[in-house]
């Protein structure tokens, strides 16, 4: 039974799902905007917003927390999150990302763009 399991499984086991979200989050931080399926974008949104909330603190502990959540990515990714992205949302309480639906493709999947708001 699936009582209380609200997250999407995306057709993957937990380790693969975690790796997918980490990769999508790193791509979002690096590029600022990515195109993916609607389900993946909706699942990525709270993960990415939590990263920005940690980054707004700016402490060493927050850097380590983000590095742990992202699976120890390149230091450029973490520094971009802390030095460029997080300061732009200093006065904002949540709602750092936006999901724009692109419609259905010929392959039959709903695509969406997830990006950071200005």
Q: According to the 3-state scheme, what is the secondary structure of 51-70? A: HHHHHHHCCHHHHHHHHHHC
Instruction: List the chain residues with pLDDT less than 50.
Output: none
Domain tally, the chain: 1
CATH of the domain at 51: 3.90.1030.10
Residue 63 within any structural domain of the chain: yes
Residue 51 within any structural domain of the chain: yes
* DSSP state at residue 81: I
Rounded to whole angstroms, the Cα distance separating 72 from 58 reads 17
Contact 96, 51 (CB under 8 A): no
Q: What is the pLDDT of residues 92-109, one digit of tens each?
A: 999 999 999 999 999 999
Residue 10 within any structural domain of the chain: no
How high is the pLDDT of residue 79? 97
Could you list the residue range(s) of the whole structural domain that residue 48 is in? 35-116
């Amino acid at each position: 039974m699936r009582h209380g399991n609200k997250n999407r499984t995306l057709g993957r086991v937990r380790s693969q799902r975690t790796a997918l979200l980490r990769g999508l989050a790193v791509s979002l931080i690096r590029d600022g905007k990515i195109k993916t399926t609607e389900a993946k974008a909706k699942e990525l949104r709270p993960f990415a917003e939590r990263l920005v909330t940690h980054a707004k603190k700016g402490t060493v502990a927050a850097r380590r927390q983000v590095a742990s959540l992202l699976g120890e990515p390149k230091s450029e990714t973490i520094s971009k999150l802390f030095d460029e992205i997080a300061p732009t949302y200093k006065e904002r309480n949540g709602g750092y990302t936006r999901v724009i639906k692109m419609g259905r493709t010929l392959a039959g999947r709903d695509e969406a763009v997830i990006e950071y708001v200005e």
